[in-house]
Amino acid sequence: MNGIDTVLWNDHGSWGEMVLNRPEKGNALTADMLGRLDAIARSAAQRQDLRVVVLRGAGDRFFCTGGDIAEWGAMTPSEMARDWILPGIDVFGRIARLPQVVVAAVNGHALGGGLELALAADLRVAIARAKLGTPEVGLGIIPGWLGTRRLAEIAGVSRARHLTLLGTPITAAQALEWGLVTAVAETPEDFEAQVAAWRERLCANAPVAMGLVKGILETMHADLRQHHASAVAQAAATEDCREGVQAFLEKRTPVFRNR
């Protein structure tokens, strides 16, 4: 598969839809998909007629399960920092900085890098059955695409610690209580109605004003790309990370030895 097949762009004039189109793999992200997301975001940024970008996963089970372990599991620490983490940070940042409002339609589980991608959006709505979490520590790795910081900004440091240190997903209802999402829908029909209602409201608002508000909020972010890439490389260099990846592939519980 290539990135064009696994990330779709549905253009509806005043709004468009990025669709992670790999449902048989939980819409897990590959390097090609990151490249395609980047290309779509670059194109969208130039569109004055485009008001809203909706981000969703194909299928009805997963929004996105994060980075495909087949992509990064065999990388060296330096390769991971250079070829996986920094490009991902750049892509998610480009999506976050779009002049259009980005709505993450979390139509299923959002885990690891999938949650990080959703957090790069301006607004998030989740289907009630969705789970949201950062299970990376169970693999001996850490969230690498600025997700830890975005979690802390959105939900607070204490809750960011809860998610990233325990590695246990939370329900959509709890995510609503924590502010990770601002709407939850019980049924697929209600979910689509909520996405449509937000989309229509946003398309009716003044685009320049919304873009300026986004720019003001973006000033909260310092450039921590290298820090995050270095931290991920450090985690990837541990025996525990190698054990976590191998255990995942062998479908067994990892045995971590703190080295």
Indicate which residue of 17, 71, 79, 116 is catalytic: 116
> Both tokens of residue 234?
């450090």
Q: Does the annotation count 116 as an active-site position?
A: yes
Terminal-to-terminal C-alpha distance of the chain: 36
Most distant pair of Cα atoms in the chain: their distance: 56
> Both tokens of residue 176?
């609503």
Q: How far from the centroid of its chain's Cα atoms is residue 208's Cα?
A: 26
Three-state SS at 131: strand
- Distance between CA atoms of residues 116 and 183, nearest Å: 18
> Both tokens of residue 132?
């949201």
DSSP 8-state code for residue 102:
E
- Distance between CA atoms of residues 36 and 212, nearest Å: 26
Q: Is 95 buried (19+), middle (13-18) or exposed (0-12) by CB count in 10 A?
A: buried
Paired residues of 170 in beta bridges: 132
Q: Does the annotation count 136 as an active-site position?
A: yes
Contact 117, 64 (CB under 8 A): yes
> Both tokens of residue 64?
């996105």
Residues in the chain: 259
Indicate which residue of 71, 136, 186, 218 is catalytic: 136
Q: How far from the centroid of its chain's Cα atoms is residue 74's Cα?
A: 22
Instruction: Give me the active site residues, please.
Output: 116, 136
